[in-house]
Amino acid sequence: MDDGRRSRTRSDALVVFGVTGDLVHKMVFPALYRMVKKGVLDVPVIGVASSPWTVEELRKHATDSIQGSGEDVDLEALARFLGLLGYVGGDYKDPGTFQSLGKALGGVVRPAFYLAIPPALFETVIRSLGDAGLSRQARVIVEKPFGRDLASARKLDDTAHLVFPEESIFRIDHYLGKEAIMNILYFRFANSFLEPVWNRNYVDSVQITLAEDFGVKGRGVFYESAGCLRDVVQNHLFQIVALLAMDPPAYQGYEAVHAEKAKVFRAMRPLKPEDLVRGQYNGYRSEPGVAKDSDVETFCALRLFIDSWRWKDVPWYLRSGKNLPVSASEVLVEMKPPPQKLFDDSDPPPGEGRANYLRFRLSPNSAVALAARVKTAGKEFVGEQRELFLQNEQRGEEGPYERLLTAALSGNRSLFSREDAVEAAWAVVDHVLYDHPPARPYDVGSWGPREAESLLGPEDRWHNPGAG
């Protein structure tokens, strides 16, 4: 799907702010190397950071990243990548840093500025790019989170628009670059059998679980400023909800997709404290950088409603957390039972969910499963539960940062969040960011606090994804 009306003038340089940071080392350098290896990146890559490094130190840092990423290293491709690297060191609040960056860019006309830096620095860097005259014909790529709440998101948008037009702002949510997430959109609208039942008349409930079997991994300072609701739910899980809940786009173009997703966010009923259960794993307060009396949630479960014609009164149950039993992400769409019970065993036993459901496996592997009751051999009308399982994993899949950075450099905004959608999503959670129940303790290796069960309907239960 593409939108041919949009200009696709390619950026002629990539500037990476925060180039010495953890995100760039773990995710961005390997992605850029793969882009060079495939021949889709051949422009200068200039790193900017406060560290007083030399270009040689940056190249060693990048080499360590790529060699430690599990990639099969092609020495010729690695040499080409390292040859593209440049470095500018300096304080982001010092205008001289941006003057030095301008000199490093030389004859570059259409740079792309990637802000892989703490959110508190976004406005400073964006304003400085404008003040230094570096923003003309440029693009800016902004890492999540885009704001901490509705007010800060609007303020950041206002600042960004003083320097860049909306079509030059690329708001990254790396989840949108994942193959399994893109498959939701494709599966929904490439198959005609789904649309007639994809509504409140046939869908009983929808669950989305994003589980991680590890803690904050020494990032306590960051998590104290974010928490699970901001870090995962408002962006990653809401994006999945939008793809599942949106109406068919009016035409073949990503602007149409963006418009329909924004409608979903606007139709979401603002959350109330009783719609939310927050949890904190035992031991979190002992993590470095975490307050001894911290109430920050490492687990979040919520009940969401979308007040649209299609989804009126269908509950959406969202859940994410750290130090859960597995690292996995799944969507479970449970269908309503047949209107008349013709067979005694046509429903699974109480507490085992619905007989018919659609399951999207998002990670650690990608798959789609459809469940149905099937009669067993014999004279009696006795059946069993079966799943039609479609494995969708493919070798050599394009990674999310590789896909997103390639798109941004070419001016393709299809996989990036739009201003109105970001602000509408923040509006849904804005109240409970500050008015919420206390975080409930839960054991490491459990599925979170017991209180999460209270969000479910009388016949619902949480679906716990497996590890495989």
With a CB cutoff of 8 Å and minimum separation 6, the contacts of 301 are 276, 277, 279, 317, 318, 319, 321, 448, 452, 455
3-class state of residue 10 by DSSP? coil
Angle at CA 103, nearest 5°, toward 101 and 108?
Answer: 90
CA 166, 168, 174, 177 dihedral sign is: positive
CB atoms within 10 A of CB 201: 10
What's the N-to-C CA distance of the chain in angstroms? 31
With a CB cutoff of 8 Å and minimum separation 6, the contacts of 177 are 399, 400, 401, 402, 403, 404, 415
With a CB cutoff of 8 Å and minimum separation 6, the contacts of 113 are 15, 17, 125, 129, 134, 138, 139, 140, 141
Name the catalytic one among 236, 431, 436, 463: 236
Residue type, 411: G
Closest to 225 measured CA to CA, from 302, 148, 315, 122 = 148
Closest to 212 measured CA to CA, from 299, 322, 116, 319 = 322
For 80, phi and psi rounded to 5 degrees?
-65, -40
Strands 383-391 and 203-211: unpaired
Tokens (6 digits) for 428: 């849904």
3-class state of residue 17 by DSSP? strand
Whole-angstrom distance, CA of residue 358 vs CA of residue 390: 11
For 378, phi and psi rounded to 5 degrees?
135, 175
Q: Does 236 participate in catalysis according to the annotation? A: yes
The secondary element (H helix, E strand) that includes residue 181 is helix 179-190
The strand order across the sheet containing 13-17 reads 85-89, 45-49, 13-17, 111-115, 139-142, 169-171
Q: Which residues are catalytic?
A: 236
